[in-house]
A and B are shown apart, each in its own frame.
Chain A
């Protein structure tokens, strides 16, 4: 246990709309709740890692202005939709490096009703002037294909469906049916509304094959976790030790070069690498996972990640969803929180909230949505930028064997 890092506190706000609160208020609340959950104070924290994708800058410092301005080292991190996972990973590194015994990771976002992400909507009749790396003279959405997130992941789905038998619109839609059903048990989810498969498939088409309930919503929220060294854990109370969850693997990858990677969406290679490294580090395999929270920003993404995270046979994601395996009563429950599709996706909060979710199940404290007897779980996030570039973060957590 000496070299291990442990989660001893975890919390999240309910995801949703908070028109009267700032991102740092949500972040401060989650951070304070996670510290209280750990039986610790902000004065015990030797490193703060804060993730906030949109605004404000210096979010970590502003969170401490809400809960206790101790002068602790603060690292503000940004990594697209993987920002929260990156914050957790960085906090783990700080403890592993011996820089501190207690680190706090907090992810927060206030998106409001930002609408479709990923594209400039400015268009004017001003004289054409080349700008950017490609010398574009106007916004390119709809002129040279699409840069909208639903379109990106629609294309990812089209490739997977082309490459593998038994994958089509219906299999993608089943992912959304499942995650919306799961969310009805999660009081922290932004939405708790079930949809039949027919309702999912008949809903407004956003970007084929993703209909509206197959796209994650915009929203506001925050999540935080407190991680400690093994030495620190031994100094904590027996209750905290019993509720501690071991971080068996903490991995981050970026996208390696591939032909056309600037316009083509290879979300698979880096995710597979992250998963394989995590399994290796944890000494477990996919068959050992009792639950998985993965990055279902769109229904098409979740299906690809069954394969990327090795949850199904290679190429077998269609059979996997058709068999019911990722449902909460199936072989490998996936996104029992409701996932990004229904729990919500306040960008930088997501990767931290996934770790909160797994931790809560391993502690046996997930209430109505508890996966009974859960001992090992995986939390995955994927982030991408509109100009290219990807990050994937995978954590494997294990119930403490005290």
Chain B
């Protein structure tokens, strides 16, 4: 095992004791997106700055996926989470039952990170999801 770790996507920063999501913010209109753009899709300014996104947020939309390709474990709770202060991400909700009675729009959630796979060189991929706030 190499012991190396990589984030599952570039907007997850794991090179810290405090793993967190990052995004790009438009200096002019404040729009937030997860990848570097040529210019802001909202106001067309090219002045964009990278910044940390919040760990806490709210469920905007959700579903429970029962049928997926064979190598995907089902069922799982998939959601769109709006982060406090800007940024909207797609992720699994973890630590709750895959039951429509357990999840709702407006639910408060918090970022969690965990291993999601290992490659042939022993490098571990770190992914993220959201836990329901107690």
Contacts and interface: CB of A to CB of B under 8 A. Distances in A.
Interface string A120-154: 01010111101001111110111111111011001
Interface residues of A, number: 49
B60 A125 contact: no
B71 A123 contact: yes
B10 interface: yes
Nearest to B67: A206
A268 interface: no
A329 interface: no
Contacts of B67: 116, 150, 204-207
Contact of A259 (B76, B88, B119, B128): B88
Contacts of B100: 169, 208-209
B12 to A, nearest CB: 9
A162 B63 CA distance: 13
A166 to B, nearest CB: 16
A116 B10 CA distance: 27
B105 interface: yes
B61 A156 contact: yes
B16 interface: no
B108 to A, nearest CB: 14
A119 B88 contact: no
Contacts of B9: 134-137, 140, 144
Contact of B79 (A126, A128, A145): A145
Contacts of A145: 78-80, 90-92
A162 B41 contact: no
B70 to A, nearest CB: 8
Task: Classify the secondary structure of A's interface with B.
Answer: loop
A260 B82 contact: yes
A141 B69 contact: yes
A142 B33 CA distance: 21
Contact of B66 (A147, A158, A207): A207
B106 A138 contact: no
Interface string A251-265: 000000101111111
Contacts of B8: 136-138, 140, 143-144
Contact of A155 (B34, B61, B88): B61
B61 to A, nearest CB: 4
Contacts of B104: 162
A202 interface: no
B74 interface: yes
Nearest to A260: B88
Contact of B116 (A138, A159, A261): A138
B63 A264 contact: no
21 contacts: A128-B123, A134-B11, A136-B8, A137-B9, A142-B68, A142-B76, A145-B92, A151-B78, A155-B80, A156-B61, A157-B63, A158-B62, A169-B100, A205-B66, A208-B64, A208-B100, A209-B100, A257-B41, A260-B80, A261-B41, A263-B34
Interface of A: 116, 119, 121, 123, 125-128, 130, 133-138, 140-148, 150-151, 154-159, 162-163, 169, 204-209, 257, 259-265
